[in-house]
Amino acid sequence: MRTIEWRDGVVLTINQLKLPHETEILELRTCGDVAEAIKTMKIRGAPVIGVAAAYALALTAHHSKAKNREELLMELERAAEILRATRPTAVNLFWAIERVLGKAKKMHDDVRELASAIISEAITLAEEDVAANRKIGMHGATMMEDGDTVLTHCNAGALATVDYGTALGVIRAAVEQGKRVRVIATETRPKLQGARLTTYELKRDGIPVTLIADTMVGYVMYRRMVDKVIVGADRIVNDAVINKIGTYQIAVLAKIHEIPFYVAAPKSTFDINRTSAEVVIEERSPEEVTCIGRERIAPEGVDVFNPAFDITPLEYVTAIICEDGILYKEDIDKIKRKH
């Protein structure tokens, strides 16, 4: 199945906390269920968080007993507030909420028609995500050469999107074209999305993958074991790419070793009117760092800093691959000037 699906008034999704050992399908029936799943990272990855939020508004509309348009709009606003408070960094969440709410506000139909339009908009958004990923894959695959070893960080695969993935979509597309591509996946402490999810997806697809600890990136680059780096993004701002913690140090190492550093992301991840200084970087619980799984590894009472994302200035990014094509610095500057 896809990572997330709408089925007759229920949202089905894979519980990403249980992978790779168990494939548990969650049945989410209310906006609160979806918000909890996003907050606890049962659903994670910028594009799928956005689609989940859109489906949460669809659930609100589907189950609403509102007697008129105004009542339904108020319920949707309340649901949107709950969703906005789940995770602060990935812009796709806010983008999807605004898109669905914007559609609802523009419509003046009767309450039932309004509810079904909201559900259709959420389903459209999910379909667009898959289509965008396919295009990202197609554009990005032109940058991959037969025999490449590509390093990726975190999970920007099918599980982080509705299907196919962004960074892993590029790798999948290259492999579909017959190119032999090997992947090095970083484990991605503290939540281990690379070790648990990226390796799971690639192994399932028969794409060769080697897992390394985050601390080994410099060594594999020094030993010339990496031809390219490709990662996803949670938000692309005026001056930087914001992505999973650890991305920045990989980008700096890639530059020093003259290895191209690509970012693959749909346009729903672009927030070009903002600078990195304006973005809230999520900080998560200390236990994610003091423990590995359920086992505590650090002494009680130690101070912990646990930012979930970091900021990679655009000067470290070779190109951004989006559904419209490959954007180099000049193209990004042009987009910036338009805003």
Q: Which of residues 300-329 bind ligand MRU (CB under 6 A)?
A: 308
Q: Does 140 bind ligand MRU (CB under 6 A)?
A: no
The count of other CB atoms within 10 Å of the CB of residue 200 is: 20
192/211 Cα distance (integer angstroms)? 11
327/15 Cα distance (integer angstroms)? 34
Q: Does 166 bind ligand MRU (CB under 6 A)?
A: yes
> Which tokens sit at 188?
């991605």
CB of 234 to ligand MRU, least distance (A): 5
Give the CA distances from residue 288 to residues 120, 189, 285, 304, 320, in Å, rounded to whole numbers and listed in that order. 38, 9, 6, 10, 30
Pairing mode, strands 228-231 and 149-152: parallel
Query: Which C-beta is closer to ligand MRU: that of 182 or that of 244?
Result: 244
99/104 Cα distance (integer angstroms)? 9
Q: Does 243 bind ligand MRU (CB under 6 A)?
A: yes
> How many helices and strands (H and E) does the chain possess?
12, 16
Q: Binding marks (x or -) toward ligand MRU, 245..284, rule CB under 6 A?
A: ----------------------------------------
CB of 87 to ligand MRU, least distance (A): 7
Give the CA distances from residue 286 to residues 18, 198, 273, in Å, rounded to whole numbers and listed in that order. 21, 24, 32
Query: Which C-beta is closer to ligand MRU: that of 47 or that of 137?
Result: 47
Query: Which C-beta is closer to ligand MRU: that of 180 or that of 284?
Result: 284
Of 40-48, 78-86, 174-182, 319-327, the window that binds ligand MRU (rule: CB under 6 A) is 40-48
CB of 114 to ligand MRU, least distance (A): 31
The angle formed by the CA atoms of residues 167, 129 and 325, to the nearest 5 degrees, is 55
Say if CB 159 and CB 19 are below 8 A apart: yes
Choose, from 214, 234, 271, 310, the residue flagged as catalytic. 234
Q: Which own/partner pairs from 218-223 qualify as long-range (CB within 8 Å, at least 24 positions apart)?
A: 218/253, 220/151, 220/184, 221/151, 221/253, 221/254, 221/256, 221/257, 221/259, 222/257
Q: Does 234 bind ligand MRU (CB under 6 A)?
A: yes
CB of 18 to ligand MRU, least distance (A): 15
Query: Which C-beta is closer to ligand MRU: that of 66 or that of 265?
Result: 265
CB of 154 to ligand MRU, least distance (A): 4
Say if CB 39 and CB 225 are below 8 A apart: no
CB of 156 to ligand MRU, least distance (A): 4
Query: Which C-beta is closer to ligand MRU: that of 143 or that of 158?
Result: 158
Q: Does 47 bind ligand MRU (CB under 6 A)?
A: yes
What is the rounded radius of gyration, in angstroms, for the C-alpha atoms of the chain? 20
Say if CB 313 and CB 243 are below 8 A apart: no
Query: Which C-beta is closer to ligand MRU: that of 44 or that of 182?
Result: 44
Q: Does 64 bind ligand MRU (CB under 6 A)?
A: no
Q: Does 154 bind ligand MRU (CB under 6 A)?
A: yes
Residue 129: active-site member: no
Contacts with ligand MRU, residue ranges (CB under 6 A): 44-47, 90, 154, 156, 160-161, 166, 193, 231-234, 243-244, 308
* Catalytic residue numbers, as ranges: 234
